[in-house]
Structure 1
Amino acid sequence: MVIKKYLVKNMNEALTRIRYELGKDAIIISQRKIRESGIKGYFKPKLIEVTAALENNKIDKKNKFAREKEEDIDFRNSLDSIKKIISEKDKKIIKEEVKEEVNSENIKNEVKEIKELLNRVIKNTNKEEEKDLISEYLRDIDIDEKLLIDLLAKNYDNIDEFKKDFMDLLEKEIDISTNNLSGKVVLVGPTGVGKTTTIAKLAGRLALIEKKKVGLITIDTYRIGAVEQLKTYAEIMNIPFKVVITLKEMEGAVKELESCDVILVDTTGRSSKNTMQISELRAFIQKVNADHIMLVMSGTTKNRDIQTILEGYNELAYEELIITKLDETSTYGCVYNIVKRSNKPIAYITTGQDVPDDIKVPSKNEIEKLILGEETIC
């Protein structure tokens, strides 16, 4: 039997050196804390003296193993080695060839320490696996992880604990508008988010369900068919409708509809990156002297585009959000990303193409369940 002693800083270093020099069949027979010799040793942390042994018939295997130049020790193999050491210590009696008499209490303490080390390693491994599961879950529901830095900094034993904390966070951060729409209401937003259809749904809800006198104005004369589309809806609902091209016409249109309880203004979709277009739109909004400005955002908007859109439209001082096209997606993390980055309440969501049915004021609980993936629109 070959017996070697190692002077190390910790058990991890000892296990690595023993496995490299003696092989995976070596066993630890003792350990004790000692000080480095000399005066300097009193001012340094204690070292650990670890004694390991290897049977003679296994030396050749060890030498072969040592000749192989390992650049890295596989983490899983290290765990297997630790487990094997524990198993051998629990099952074997220290052999007669051992030159030092080992106290049985020391062996118990040693096995206990190694078990505790293994448990810590396994626990840390499990926590890393849980973090991976949480990240995968957030990607699945389309949540921008950059918005959850504080939450993700915590260590969770399981994903259910994370979901509970996330639900509590949503309860604090999701806000639903309770404003009663009246006066002049302007809808703004990028091209393709469904502003015209949304304003028709909103007009129908206000006129047919809430029994308010509603007027419609559009300045969206750039998009082919937009005027005709809104005009058709206005005729069906028997709502007065005005088309505006210049700022002077806007002033006249608002004056003509001043007897209405609500005047809804549909605007042209503008690129949030085009500051000139946004400035032109702001001039029309100022001429309207709007009481409410709502930003319309699609629930299918890419996460990397959300911040750019919100920053571009900040110049228009929007106060509330309308999230559209939730029927066109199966994940709703985008809703959280928009609310979190804009710090604005949700006024309405749209869930289909039917006018005026597919628009509603959501409950906070409904939005939370959609974001968490517990419910879907369709």
Structure 2
Amino acid sequence: MKVKKYIAPSMPEAMKAIRAELGSEAVILNSKMIQTGGIFGFFKKKNIEVIAAVDPAAKTAQVPVIKEKQKNVPVKPEQSGRADSPFNKVYTGKGSDPEAKAPPELAREINELRSLISSVRFGGSDNAVSYPEPVLNAQKLMSGQGISTEIQKDILSVLVSNWYTGGATADDQEVFAWLKAELMKRISSLQFGGITFTKKYVNVVGPTGVGKTTTLAKMAADCILAHNKKVAFITTDTYRIAAIEQLKTYAKILNVPIEVCYNFDDFQKAASQFADYDTVLIDTAGRNFRNRQYVEDLKAVVDFEKEIETFLVLSLTSKQEDMEEIYKQFSLIHIDKLIFTKTDETSSYGAMINMIDKHSTGIAFLTYGQNVPDDMKHATAEVIVNTVLGVERHE
């Protein structure tokens, strides 16, 4: 792989120089506007910097002809990776790791190409990258799903090296399989799935409005129906009367006891009362956890490390920045897993990948409606990746 940088007054002139030196088989990797020359900061000239590459060993028919930088355009349905796109077909394994068979010299060139891609900045038209079309489709899918640029760069470096190492002939299905494999590799080491039942208390925390109380009822129903557990409710969310009444209604439907705790003496009494129960689900007030003293007092009642499993509930209709702030707010206690709600109210799921990748925290459940005990799915790494890639829907 030969990679070279060109500086010219315009794109046509840059392309002319690239064709003259690298030939018509070259492909543009990056282009951006720069300023050169000048005196004391004045009279600078605008030029375009273009990074191009060519694989001398590749056949002309296998390498895309050089073309001008692509403009950022809306993703068409057939490019989006949804169910009606060829980009959603899962590849079965052919050539899934081409670099493993690459000779040393080619492997070195691939690493250089990865380093080049890792330096690319996303978001500005002057820094757009002209990827091979199947890789470009993968980048559009990740971007459309809201996957962070840092994760995109890591994955795209692998996809591009795979594409060139495999002879520059991979189609959408093959590149899509590489994309899925890289996402799976990124999160598969984390813990997924619902309640472990290794601890008696299950603490469900989160801000108001994310569907926490309904999620708690779904979890209780799952414990009773799927695992034959003896379940009880404790609620400390005394700020919202509606929340208490809602949970009481669910308790009546599920035929489980509930205790409302206004202080820590109440909590201790409730814990004693439910000593013979298998699982005690705790509904907490969202704003309490901003107060460190509240957390310390609660720790005096329940050993968070030994006796309690804590799930943080986040809504997928929230902005990424809001999710980060919520996580920070509740991280005064140990968070075992995340629960994402309202998956049926959005078409963007990349925040799940961003959150679990950044915080190394797995996902317990996905919820997608108001029906109890339905509208909840146990999370796995494959369920999360398939949801992000549009292979799996929840509605």
Please give the range of the TM-score, normalised by the shorter of the 2 chains: 0.5 to 0.7
Render the CA deviation track for 1:268-291: whole Å, top value 9, x for unaligned: 11287x3x2x54145325413342
Report the AA paired with residue 141 of structure 2: Y
**Alpha-carbon distance between aligned partners in 1 of 2:267 and 2:330, rounded to the nearest angstrom:** 21
Q: Does 1:368 align with 2:368?
A: no
Match of 2:193 among 169, 177, 191: 177
Q: Point out where structure 1 has 5 or more consecutive residues left out of the alignment.
A: 1-9, 14-71, 84-113
SS at match of 1:348: strand
> Is the CA contact (8 Å cut-off) linking 2:193 and 2:379 kept in structure 1?
no
Q: Measured at CA, do residues 321 and 282 of structure 1 come closer, stay the same or move farther in structure 2, by a change above 3 Å?
A: farther
SS at match of 1:371: helix
Counterpart of 2:144 in structure 1 is 140
> Is the CA contact (8 Å cut-off) linking 1:186 and 1:292 kept in structure 2?
yes
* Aligned pairs, number: 278
**Alpha-carbon distance between aligned partners in 2 of 1:11 and 1:140, rounded to the nearest angstrom:** 30
Counterpart of 1:167 in structure 2 is 180
Q: CA RMSD in A?
A: 3.1
**Alpha-carbon distance between aligned partners in 2 of 1:248 and 1:12, rounded to the nearest angstrom:** 73
Q: Which has the higher helix share?
A: 1
**Alpha-carbon distance between aligned partners in 2 of 1:188 and 1:115, rounded to the nearest angstrom:** 61
TM-score (norm 2): 0.62
Counterpart of 1:342 in structure 2 is 359
Q: Superposition pairs for residues 82-121 of structure 1, below 5 Å?
A: 114=20, 116-120=22-26
Report the AA paired with residue 344 of structure 1: T
Report the AA paired with residue 220 of structure 2: A
Render the CA deviation track for 1:21-66: whole Å, top value 9, x for unaligned: xxxxxxxxxxxxxxxxxxxxxxxxxxxxxxxxxxxxxxxxxxxxxx
- Percent identity between matched residues is 32
Report the AA paired with residue 378 of structure 2: V
Match of 1:284 among 294, 298, 302: 298
Query: What's the CA shift for 1:373?
Result: 2.4
Counterpart of 1:75 in structure 2 is 11
Q: Does 1:251 align with 2:251?
A: no
Counterpart of 1:229 in structure 2 is 246
Q: Measured at CA, do residues 372 and 80 of structure 1 come closer, stay the same or move farther in structure 2, by a change above 3 Å?
A: same
SS at match of 2:228: coil
Counterpart of 1:108 in structure 2 is none
Q: Measured at CA, do residues 191 and 115 of structure 1 come closer, stay the same or move farther in structure 2, by a change above 3 Å?
A: same
Q: Superposition pairs for residues 195-344 of structure 1, below 5 Å?
A: 195-270=212-287, 274=290, 276=291, 278-289=292-303, 290-344=307-361
**Alpha-carbon distance between aligned partners in 1 of 2:5 and 2:209, rounded to the nearest angstrom:** 62
Q: Measured at CA, do residues 371 and 82 of structure 1 come closer, stay the same or move farther in structure 2, by a change above 3 Å?
A: closer
Counterpart of 1:129 in structure 2 is 130
Q: Measured at CA, do residues 140 and 178 of structure 1 come closer, stay the same or move farther in structure 2, by a change above 3 Å?
A: same
> Is the CA contact (8 Å cut-off) linking 2:237 and 2:285 kept in structure 1?
yes
Higher gyration radius (CA): 1
> Is the CA contact (8 Å cut-off) linking 1:331 and 1:373 kept in structure 2?
no
Query: What's the CA shift for 1:256?
Result: 0.5
Report the AA paired with residue 260 of structure 1: Y
> Is the CA contact (8 Å cut-off) linking 1:300 and 1:334 kept in structure 2?
no
> Is the CA contact (8 Å cut-off) linking 2:295 and 2:332 kept in structure 1?
no
Report the AA paired with residue 201 of structure 1: K
Counterpart of 1:55 in structure 2 is none
Q: Point out where structure 2 has 5 or more consecutive residues left out of the alignment.
A: 30-51, 53-65, 70-128, 164-169
**Alpha-carbon distance between aligned partners in 2 of 1:314 and 1:284, rounded to the nearest angstrom:** 14
Query: What's the CA shift for 1:226?
Result: 0.5
